[in-house]
Every structure is written in structure tokens, then in C-alpha cells.
Structure 1
């Protein structure tokens, strides 16, 4: 066969070299053809495609435009549009794709790329229609089915996404990416056992698939198999050491396991910063001016600006910011948008979606907005943007609200806490400087759902019902042992657990088996899955007392239980994640009755509450008002203290050389 060294290679021979991955030889062959035939449009086009595949889109575009100047072909316009889309030159890409469609309206690849363009422009309806057209023209178009499924996940239609991924698998059964996508969709639908199976199939076809390992870890954590989850995260990092989210997932999971300590969290966070913090820390930008009277420009960054604890706890803070003191911007990394998102957007002074925007581009946007203080609300939780903070887009950077430990990031200046979650002396476990607010570090936004507090259920003649509405990962073996001791001390009681994971029958049976090893019969356990928030809140009217887990205690669930009049018995933990409920109860003045020093005290406090039904009923009837009139719900006062903290941080930065 003639190769690139031949003085007269053909386009077919050059294309063979190209498709075989022999790109240097292929480019030489294309250029030899063009030296001989300067108006060979196919050679110009294919040379442009090759250069674009190598990441040199500017050269690729120039070569393909040369081909088009010689003759038109739908493939030329299609590949020109693809290169323009890669450079985010949206209008030019649209023109190229439309030109391709005029020449070949029934070509599936063109509709597929139109779908990609509409998706990049945040036009989901148009994108779905384009993907569906591509699939109709080419049944079993696996890449289009996968992109359609991913888009459907973004807009919240997981059932339709499952169907798309399943069709992609039917077309290409060995495609590991399709199985991984299916696993993610099934997890979202609380079909955890099926999700774990889908990830396992993906890993059968591609054992080094780091994303599948990391996602499998998340699902295993949801199933309550924490040791296996930790192993899965480590496998992800073995195959892809530069995988920040997998390392964050590993760090996050450690907070659930009693064998890990605050020192371990610090060490793991520092390792994350070294490996994934994007190089040595950048110097903080200079303070832009010295006008002490102007409002500070504060940016909040989160993937959870929706129906999520971050959204619930932030809402009233945004609403009560003093506009003469703070101009608040939201940098929203969340694809899911709901009524909470809209309320947060309305309360903010500026709103910037950053989903799909790279860290450097997002950092440039923040700099252009002139942000003085950038606040991370995610830490090492899912879809965090910590690498963005590593780029130092603001003079002062702060961690608050969404996480419960050090980020480990040298560029994170402060962490906001209180004396209950971060007692004096534990500063050594944080790379950030600690700022303690005077009360709790959280401000609860009361639910908009109007659900009244019901009477104490046990007074109605039924059994005593203890409740625990925590995610399955928090129900660790030590938690099961603690709750089993409590049930053994209260033979008349039963336990209702409720969380999305309990939609899965395998999760339910595994927990029954765990309790059985402690002598607790299955008929003393009731398990329920996800329900809408109003129904979920109403479920509190079926329990007498709520139980907090260990070592990762209740946070949002504790606040919601108190709102519904249900006291929460809490073990004082050895870590921030085990003290969030303690912070609430200390603030309400209920710690002496509800915060236990050890497991014996936990059982005793629960039994004491059950043993005095009239006192428990009185506590229940007044809890909502107590909470509503406490510092936990005093958004104006809380926000003033937060603003004072920001101003002090800012002034301290101004004084630095």
C-alpha cells in the first residue's frame, strides 16, 4: 500500500492513515495531495477535521472553510459547525449546521449536533427535539440516546432518561458509558440495587472506568455499605489519581465512619488540596478600593440552590441582607431548578448560572463582577467547585453552611462555625481561620408548606413510635446498636425510619437483618421511602420522639423535627457532623433534656421522655413557637452578625500587606 512517503498518496490512503490513528503520517499525506492538487476539497476538509480532532480548532476551521470555498458538501458544513461549537462560537455554528441541513435534511448526524448546540445554549426543549429527530432517522443511535438521556436527567425526567439509556444499551450492549449513565438515573429514582448492578456491568466492560467506580461508591454509601463505598472511591482514584470529585467523595464518606477522626479529615483534605487543588496557591487579589461605606459584594457558590438543605438555610439570609451593607450574588452550579431556586434568585442582587462553565471562565466572571468575598456553600459535597476557589477569584474566600470540616484548600481564608460544632481547641484540624458566630452558625428558614403540629401520637392509644428520617448512610452499625438498645429498653416502642433509600426492598431487608442481630424483631421496624416535602413533614405527626444517628448526626432533619413539634434525642458527637443538632438544641435551651453524653445517657433520656407523656405533650405543643422565636429563626439578627463577620474579614484583608 502507498504510504505518506509516496509522492502520490490518494485521499483514500490518507484517510486510512487518519482513521488508523497515524495522524502525523495522515497530515503529511493530506499536504502532499494539496501540494499536487491545491483545489482538492476533500483533502482540505479532512485535514481540517484532523486538526480539530487534535484540539487545533482554529486551523481546522480555516482548512474546512477553504474546502467550502471550492465546493459545498453537507459533511463540510457539519464538521465546520462541530469545530465552531467546540470554540463556543454558537451563532457561527448554528449557521454551519443550518447550511448542512439545507443540503441534507435527513442526515442524523446534523440533527445530533444541533441537539448538542441547543444543549450548550440552555435550550432543553429544542435539544430534546433535535436528539429525537436524530434517533428517528437512525434508530439505535447510541451517542444521541446517551446525550438525550443526560439532558433528560438535567431537566428532571429520570424515568424517560432510563428509557433512553436502556435503548442505547440495546443498540450497543458493551458500551460502558451507557451502563454508567443508566446507573446514575436509577440511583436518582431510588432504585439503588439496580443502580449498583448497572455500574458493575459498566466495570465489567471497562474495569478502569473511574467515573463508574466513583458513582458506584455513592450508590453503595446509599445502600449503607460504607466499607465497600470507601473501597470503590479508592478504586476510582487508583485508575484516575487526578479525579477531584472522587477524592471529595472519599473524604465526605469518611465523616460517616466512626473509625475516622478529625485528624483524618484534615489529612485527607490536605491531600485533596495537594493533588487536586490545581497547583500552588495563588496570591489573593489586591483589595480593589478602600471605601468603607460601600456595600461589600459577596458571592455565594453552590450546586444546591434548590430544594436542598443549603437552599432552605440560605433563603432567609438572602432575603434579609441589608442592601446598604451587602450586594449578594449567587453563582449557581445546579442543573435542577425549582421553586426554591426561583425564590433564591429573586432575593439575590445578581445571579450567574455556572453549570458547564469551566473553572477559569467562572473565575473570570467572578472577577468581572468585582466580588469582594466569595463564599463556598459546598465543601467536599457533590458537584462542588473547590477548584474554582483554588484560582483565587476574590480577595477573601470563605467556607460556610454546606460542609462540616476543613476544605484543606490554602486559598480558603475563613470557615464560619459556632462554639458548639467547632469547640475551642479544635482549630488545629482546619487549614482555614475559624470565625465563630455568636449563636448557631445556621439560620433555619421555616417551611412554606403549611403542615400543622398534631397531638402526641402515643396519647391516642397506639404504640410508642420513635422516628428517624435520615439517609441510609447515617444508619451505621454503631447507630443500629444504639437504637436497638433504646428499643430493648422500651419494649412497647417501635421505630419508623424514612428516607429515599428505603424505596429499595434490598435496603429495607438489610436493615431488618442488622437489627435482628441485636434481637429486635422485624415487626418493630417500619420503613418508608421518599415523599413530597409536605407529606414528609406530616409524617412527623406519626412519631413521638425523633432519634439522631451517630457519628454523623441529624442536621436539617433535626430542625424539621423541631418545627413539627418532635423533640430529637442527640448524642454529642466527636466531630462537626455529629454536633449540628447539638448546636440547635443548645441554642433552644433544650440540651439538658435532649443532648446525651454517651449511649447510656441517650437511652435514659429517651426513656425519660416516654415515661412522662404529659410533659412530652407539653413540649410538643410549644416547640414550633419556641423555634420560631429563637435565634435559629431570627433571620435579620443572624444576617446582621454574618454581615459583621464579612466586614471584619474584609477589613482584616485590607490591613494585610
Structure 2
């Protein structure tokens, strides 16, 4: 499938039973969504079997994320400002066997260094949601919901299917406060009426296209006691969207809030009853954020990778029934959940709670946060190590990169 052979040279040596050297290259080992999601991953690798190196394209920003990653990983190297050739030489000198590109085509990327083919196996993960279309990237780490085999023609890389979701997060370690009800804000903090059913979408506003906005407005019109809660991300989008809503016959049912700190952003998700996903480009990090707050989400997967991530995340927390297959099913699902729910006063005062369909799904998500794979970072790292081992086995046999399906480290019989 068009993988050029690496330049002729000896592979990095690996002693019998010796450790594999795994490198991660990123501009985002700073206060950035990638670091928020991956900050524990690098230190969780099994040091008896892997030597892990983080190569940082960005200088230290003094953030807790940079501090955690650089202190927990075995080797952390600042390569900011170095030339592609010098970094490629360094990668070779360090004997890196498997090199991960965590940027793809995002800000600060260093793809020209990967084009020099410094490592025998080069892998795209997490930073860029789609194929790189680059002959120097052998594999993309994904899963069979995000990138099913029948859509493999959309990728130039060979697919590596992790079990459950490829989309890692660190919420269990980074945001335990969300599990404490005393931290939960009142709806009034965000001008949300206590007696309404609240739908939300906390994505950047560019992800909202006319088709999904039409659908949301139809739902609001058919369910008058419902609010749609959006974020001023950016603030300049608010006026236009309110105007578009008015033209669709919706007035006073949309509430905007400011962008918040990561901690507030996650915990305020508890004020919503249901997250309604954008379609062409889903909630990705935001999907993990909202599910960690216990709030369920409805999503409608498309063909492209960026339109399928939320379905993968939902399935990994046991909410397969909230993944819909058409616009009509999306509308019917949301309307039936709203109509099957009601707000009732809490015992002992203190506002209302949601009872019925949405209340039951929230209870399920709250339980599954602790029992399902989505928020189990240790398990996810072990499964990634299974992928690394298999990529190296294929290479060691002298075979070309090929499709890899990784069995779950805890329950190998689990369907992926």
C-alpha cells in the first residue's frame, strides 16, 4: 500500500529480551488538550520492557502538564529549535525502534523530520484525526468503531485496532473532584432554568454546520421546555447563531456560557441532561469530558475519522444505544429521551433533578465510569504496548506493515 522502504541502514540493535525503545514526538507536551489526555501515559509504560523517550518540540511553559510528563517519563528531551536533520540523527543515535507522531498536520508539527525515516516503524496517533497520506508513516493507531476495516481505503497507513476506544484520557487521575457531588455547581450559575431539560454542546462553534443546527432547532421547537446550552467558543459566534435560530423559529431557548478553565468545564457538564453531538466533526476530548461528568451523549457517526470518534468513546462506556444511524433516528432518539423525562424537586430542597429516561441513562453513565474501559488509562497503556509489540514482530520478520488487531489485555475474548 505504497510504503517506501526505509533507507538502507542497520536497524537499532535489540538484545535478546532487551527493551524496545519507544519515542513520542510532540509540540503539545505543554498546557494543551493532548497533554491533558495523555499526561499519565508516558510514565505508565512498563519500564522492564520499554524505554520511553518524549521529544518535545515546544519549550517548557511551566504548566503542571509539562512537569508531570517530563518527571514521569524515563527520558525527556527538549528538541525545540533543532533542525530536522539533527533530530533525525538524534532519534537514530538513541536507537528508537517505534516512533510516534503525536501532531500530524497540527500546529508545531515536525513532519519533515519523520520524512527522513529515522526510525524503522513510524506511527501516527492522536494529534491528527485522519490519514496523513504520507508514505513515511506506516501505521495509524485507531479502533474498529472509529476506523472500521470497510473504510480502510480512507487511510494510507495500515490500521492498528486497539480494543474499545483508541481515544485515551486521564480523567480518573486528573479530575477526581467531579465525582464529589459537593463540587457540582447550581444551574443558576449559568442562567439555566432549573425546571427545563438542558441539551448541551460544548464544542468549538465551527463544528456546528447548518444541517445539525436545523435538527437542533427542530427538536427545540417540538420540545418547548428544553434549552440548548452552547459555549462562546469564540464569542463572536454567539450573535450569528442566535440570529440563525430566530430565522428557524427558535427564540429564548439557547443559552451561551463563557469558555471556562478545564476543571470548571468538566464539572459544569453535570448541569446538562444530554450532550447533542456535532456530526461532521464530533466532540473528541469534549466527549470524554462530558461523559466523565456523568452526562450522556447522542452521536451520529459519518465515514471520516473525525466524524466517528464520539461513537467509539460512547461504546467504550457502554452507551451503544446512543449511537444513531440517520438524521431521523437522531431526532427521534433525542425527542423521545426528552419526552420520557421530567424535572422533579430534590428531596430536602436544593433545586430539581431529572427523572425518567435521561435520569436512568445518567445513572448508567455514572456507574460505567468506574467499570468500563473508557476511563481505565492503565488498561489502555497495556493495550497500546500490545500494539507496539505486534508492530515490532511484523518488522522483525522482515514483513511490510500490515493490519493489526490487538486483543484486550484483561479479556482477550472481548470483541474489540
Match of 1:568 in 2: 297
User: 1:233-273 CA deviation, whole Å, 9 max, x = no partner?
Assistant: xxxxxxxxxxxxxxxxxxxxxxxxxxxxxxxxx9xxx9xx9
Is 1:606–2:334 an aligned residue pair? yes
Alignment of 1:252-651 (within 5 A): 283=7, 285-335=9-59, 336-446=61-171, 448-449=174-175, 450-451=177-178, 452-453=180-181, 454=184, 461-502=194-235, 506-521=236-251, 523-592=252-321, 594-613=322-341, 614=355, 615-651=357-393
Aligned counterparts of 1:333 and 1:436: Cα–Cα separation in 2: 28
Per the TM alignment, residue 600 of structure 1 is displaced from its structure 2 partner at its CA by: 1.3
Q: How does 1:178-197 map to 2 (within 5 A)?
A: none
Runs of 4+ residues deviating >4 angstroms = 453-461
Supply the distance in 1 between the matched residues of 2:222 and 2:118 (Cα, whole angstroms).
55
Q: CA deviation at 1:338?
A: 1.0
The structure showing larger relative contact order (alpha-carbon pairs under 8 Å, at least 6 residues apart) is 2
CA RMSD of aligned residues (A): 2.5
Corresponding residue for residue 174 of structure 1: none
Residue 310 (structure 1) shift: 1.6
Aligned residues: 376
Describe the superposition over 1:383-439 as per-residue Cα deviations: whole angstroms up to 9, x where unpaired.
211111101111110111222211111111111111000011222221111111122
Residue number in structure 2 paired with 1:252: none
Give the C-alpha shift of residue 612 in structure 1. Answer: 2.8
On the 8 A contact 1:456/1:617 being kept in 2, the answer is no
Tell whether the 8 Å contact from 1:298 to 1:372 is kept in structure 2 after alignment: yes
1:375 Cα offset (Å)? 0.2
CA contact (8 A) 1:456 1:541 kept: no
Query: Which protein is bigger by CA-based radius of gyration?
Result: 1
Cα distance, 1:574 vs structure 2: 2.1
Shift of 1:469: 0.4
- The structural deviation recorded for 1:456 is 10
1:467·1:543 contact (CA, 8 Å) conserved in 2?
Answer: yes
Residue 378 of structure 1, CA deviation: 1.3
Aligned partner of residue 148 in structure 2, secondary structure: coil
C-alpha distance after superposition, 1:451-470 (max 9, x if no partner): 33559969984222211100
- Looking at secondary structure, tell me which structure has more strand per residue: 2
Q: What are the Cα deviations for residues 534-589 of structure 1, in whole angstroms up to 9, with x where unaligned?
A: 22123213211111102111111111111101111111222111111100111222
Bigger helix share: 1
Measured after TM superposition, the shift of residue 500 of structure 1 is 3.5
Counterpart Cα distance in 2 of 1:413 and 1:595 = 30
- Pairs within 5 Å for 1:1-12: none
Q: Deviations over 1:495-543 (max 9, x none)?
A: 11115312xxx3211111222232222x222222221122212321321
Q: Is the 8 A contact 2:30 2:65 kept in 1?
A: yes
Output the CA distance in 2 between the equivalents of 1:318 and 1:284.
30
Deviation at 1:377, TM superposition (A): 1.0
Pair 1:417–1:462, CA change in 2 (3 A)? same
Distance 2:163 2:262 in 1: 31
Farther off after superposition, 482-491 or 555-564: 482-491
Residue aligning to 1:235: none
Q: Is the 8 A contact 1:457 1:544 kept in 2?
A: no
Distance 1:609 1:572 in 2: 19
Q: For residues 331 and 284 of structure 1, do their structure 2 counterparts lie closer, same or farther at Cα, with a shift above 3 Å needed?
A: farther
Deviation at 1:285, TM superposition (A): 4.7
In structure 2, do the counterparts of structure 1 residues 599 and 456 end up closer, same or farther at CA, with 3 Å as the change threshold?
A: farther
Following the alignment from structure 2 to structure 1, what is the Cα–Cα distance between the partners of residues 73 and 259?
30
Gaps spanning 5+ residues in structure 1: where?
1-265, 274-279
